[in-house]
Amino acid sequence: MDRFIYSLLLYLLCPFVMLRLLWRFKKNSAYGRRWNERFGFIRPLLSDKQIIWMHAVSVGETIASAPLVMALMKSYPAYRFLITTMTPTGSDQVKAIYGDMVEHTYMPYDLPDALYRYLNRTNPKLVLIFETELWPNTIAACKKRGTPVVIANARLSERSAKGYQRISRLTRNMLNQLSVVACQNIEDGKRFVRLGLDAEKLQIIGSIKFDINISSETLNAAKAIRSNWEKGFGRQAQVLIAASTHSEEEQIIINAYINLKKQYPDLLLVVVPRHLERFDAFYDLACNSGLTVKRYNQDTNVTPNTQVILGDVMGEMMKLYAASDIAFVGGSLIERGGHNVLEPAVLGLPVLSGPHTFNFHNISMSLEQAGGLIFVNNTEELTAEVDRLLTDGDHYNNTKNRAKQFVDDNRGALVRLLKIISNVLANSHHSN
């Protein structure tokens, strides 16, 4: 497939894309706001400084890319930073982290006319795409303007590589219009090269997700949250958090908690669904399972009878992790590929995960080998492993310490990535 046919197919799909946007709007009104940005119609930017554009698809990528963006803002004060996301929750996360320090729009669809409008308005000096968002027309349009594109913290699973292989000619041309692919590990790097990337454009840097720093404000807020929970609970609690959960695995988590509650009456379960559209559905599911549920965003004062706290809030995951004792990371008991196991690990929590972690395969396997992560497959195994962590103090301490040590031992990718970006900017021939 060449890019002309690809673009033609995208235009033919536009009516269906609009219908999907309408369907999402009916479920979440935020999808109806600023929809014009997805077609390249954006308001004037607030600054006349040159732009560095960072794309982070949604919440997880926005959080993970924050250390990079903060470091770049410090190193390049003459630039204004533009961050794009695909989802309203990603947009909310950008606002929560940066306030007015950056510009935000939705990522334009990969349509030539939308990109023409968008790039004419923003005229970025550099484009940074975080992890895996590869759009042929976006990359080609930047190349045509002389704007370098860097894939930062790049990863490419075997499953994704097989998908790109089906459009091999389009993929090969797209990859070789990139300036640098700064990849997390050599296995993913080999997949990029196998798809046609010039090996000279590949840099193996590790993952900047290891360079996450937890602020004292976050830790203090977490202590206050935990204190409020235990004050309302009337006694010391043990807290199990299930984070970034999906609908198909939430009943498994509830069943495991019901099993554990028989032996541990002081155990609280905190559940943070991956998508805000799941908040009400999980509340109903937990209540229908006979559990007493408090919604974090509506009533943080638990009672002595509270069993489950629904984390119906975006942007406070690290606080909720830090207020907990044991973490299960969702999207992993089903074939969603898992989510970021390093977030609880950096806080020194023992980490549990299902077996489906292809989005974070190398990190998850390495964390397990280091002794900081435990894989479970079902209700029975989740029950048993949490039971062991709660019963065996040495096992609990060893697991949490090894999780924290694993993160500390693998820091440094951010410094390497900043050096790459500095070199790309220095050699850029882009002009206004």
Q: Do domains 3-206+412-426 and 217-409 have the same CATH topology?
A: yes
Residue 216, class by beta-carbon neighbours within 10 Å (0-12 exposed, 13-18 middle, 19+ buried)?
exposed
E strand segments, 146-284: 149-154, 180-183, 202-204, 238-245, 267-273
* CA triple 274-275-280, angle to 5 deg: 110
Q: Determine whether 61 is an active site residue.
A: yes
Q: Which of 61, 131, 250, 381 is catalytic?
A: 61
Q: Which burial class, exposed, middle or buried, applies to 38 when counting CB atoms under 10 A from its CB (0-12, 13-18, 19+)?
A: buried
Gyration radius from the chain CA atoms? 22
Domain range annotation of the chain: 3-206+412-426, 217-409
Q: What is the model's pLDDT at position 30?
A: 77
- Cα 150 to Cα 100, 130, 178, 238, 383, distances in angstroms: 25, 9, 6, 44, 43
Per-residue pLDDT of the chain (432 residues; tens, 9 = 90+): 789 999 999 999 999 988 888 888 877 777 878 889 999 999 888 778 899 999 998 888 898 899 999 999 999 999 999 999 998 888 988 998 999 999 999 999 999 999 999 999 999 999 999 998 899 999 999 999 999 999 999 999 898 999 999 999 999 999 999 999 999 999 999 999 999 999 999 999 999 999 988 989 999 999 999 999 999 999 999 999 999 999 999 999 999 999 999 999 999 999 999 988 899 999 999 999 999 999 998 756 789 999 999 999 887 899 999 999 999 999 999 999 999 999 999 999 999 999 999 989 999 999 999 999 999 999 999 999 999 999 999 999 999 999 999 999 999 999 999 999 999 999 887 655
Q: Is 210 exposed, middle or buried (0-12, 13-18, 19+ CB in 10 A)?
A: buried
Is 3.40.50.11720 the CATH number for 3-206+412-426?
yes
Structurally, at CATH architecture level, domain 217-409 sits in 3-Layer(aba) Sandwich (3.40)
Apex 395 CA angle, 345 and 364, nearest 5: 35
The CA-atom distances, in angstroms, between 389 and each of 309, 324, 325 are: 21, 13, 10
